[in-house]
């Protein structure tokens, strides 16, 4: 099987490419820096026409939304990086329609906005805020491939895994004994183990009946205070030192409210109804897995 992956050198993309290569697939990674490609074969963004003849296209490209304070310039990069990558791949798909081909496009649960204690499945309406705006646009562009390919949109939650992601940002303060909840700690965290993310992408490839939007979150979201307590236990460190909301807002501005102090209680209704089984459905098991060298 011929597979083209954008964003194939990132936290999710690189291990995904390794898995697909190990399954015997011919995997090409679209990248701006071929030196970063450690598995698969590199393609430049000028070679996206190769996606037109691929059996599977996986779109993971986009500026890291948690990489720094949201200045106006950074917000433009976040939006434009997703739009440019998705447009390029959709154009390639539409140039040679094939309904047997799978086009799997990343999205995020930021689509739902900040919704308090409301339980959100894939039928929930979009919310407000910058992230919701980015994700709505991202998905609108991906939907232009409908009819030319089997479209699957995966809304990722907070991904837990070694060497990066949410855990990578949280380890230092916890190991120093100053970890704890963010703000009130009441906000929901819809987390998912990276292993289950990779497995769900493979599931979407392998099941021709999979199409449309899927929440990629474990079935048991946790409040931030419970998440941080569980992380403290897993690290054998205290987790009672809260990060005050005002300090987070002072340091990170708008980003603090949308990514740290707010949250969504998201459940993977469609995937579980269609037979996907999570390997790490419980937080304690997922944290132990994410922290195992």
Burial of 12 (0-12, 13-18, 19+ CB in 10 A): buried
- The span from the CA of 4 to the CA of 40, in Å, is 9
Neighbours of 115 (CB within 10 A): 17
Q: What CATH number does the domain containing 241 carry?
A: 3.40.50.720
Q: Which has the closest alpha carbon to 166: 138, 145, 191, 134?
A: 191
Which tops the pLDDT comparison, 154 or 292? 154
pLDDT in tens, 57-67: 999 999 999 88
pLDDT at residue 240 is higher than 90: no
Name the region of 149 (left: φ>0; alpha: ψ -120 to 50; beta: rest). Answer: beta
Helix axes 72-95, 130-142, angle to 10 degrees: 10
The count of domains in the chain is 1
pLDDT tens digit string along 210-221?
Answer: 999 999 999 999
Distance CA 201, CA 189 (A): 21
Structural domain including 57 reads: 2-291
What pLDDT sits at residue 186? 97
Cβ proximity of 204 and 152 under 8 Å: yes
Per cent of the chain over pLDDT 70 is 100
Q: Express each pLDDT in 167-186 by its tens digit.
A: 888 888 888 888 999 999 99
Which range among 38-52, 112-126, 204-218 shows the weakest confidence by mean pLDDT? 38-52
Which pTM does this prediction carry? 0.96
């Amino acid at each position: 099987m011929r597979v083209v992956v954008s964003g194939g050198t990132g936290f999710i993309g690189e291990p995904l490419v390794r898995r697909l290569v190990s399954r015997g697939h011919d995997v090409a990674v679209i990248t701006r820096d071929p030196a970063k490609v450690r598995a698969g074969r590199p393609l430049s963004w000028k070679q996206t026409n190769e996606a037109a003849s691929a059996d599977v296209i996986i779109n993971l490209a986009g500026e890291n939304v948690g990489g720094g304070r949201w200045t106006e310039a950074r917000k433009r990069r976040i939006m434009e990086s997703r739009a440019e990558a998705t447009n390029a791949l959709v154009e390639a798909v539409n140039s040679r329609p094939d309904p047997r081909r799978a086009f799997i496009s990343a999205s995020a649960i930021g689509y739902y906005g900040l919704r308090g204690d409301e339980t959100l499945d894939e039928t929930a309406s979009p919310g407000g805020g910058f992230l919701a705006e980015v994700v709505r646009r991202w998905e609108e562009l991906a939907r232009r491939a409908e009819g030319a390919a089997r479209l699957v949109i995966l809304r990722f939650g907070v991904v837990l895994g070694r060497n990066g992601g949410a855990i990578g940002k949280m380890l230092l303060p916890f190991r120093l004994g100053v970890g704890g909840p963010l703000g009130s700690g009441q906000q929901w965290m819809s987390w998912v183990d990276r292993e289950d993310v990779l497995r769900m992408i493979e599931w979407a490839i392998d099941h021709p009946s999979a199409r449309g939007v899927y929440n990629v979150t474990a079935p048991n979201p946790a409040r931030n205070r419970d998440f941080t307590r569980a992380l403290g236990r897993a690290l054998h460190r205290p987790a009672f030192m809260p990060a005050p909301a005002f300090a987070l807002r002072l340091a990170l501005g708008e980003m603090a409210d949308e990514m740290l102090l707010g949250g969504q209680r998201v459940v993977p209704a469609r995937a579980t109804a269609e037979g996907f089984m999570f390997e790490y459905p419980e937080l304690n098991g997922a944290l132990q897995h994410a922290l195992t060298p």
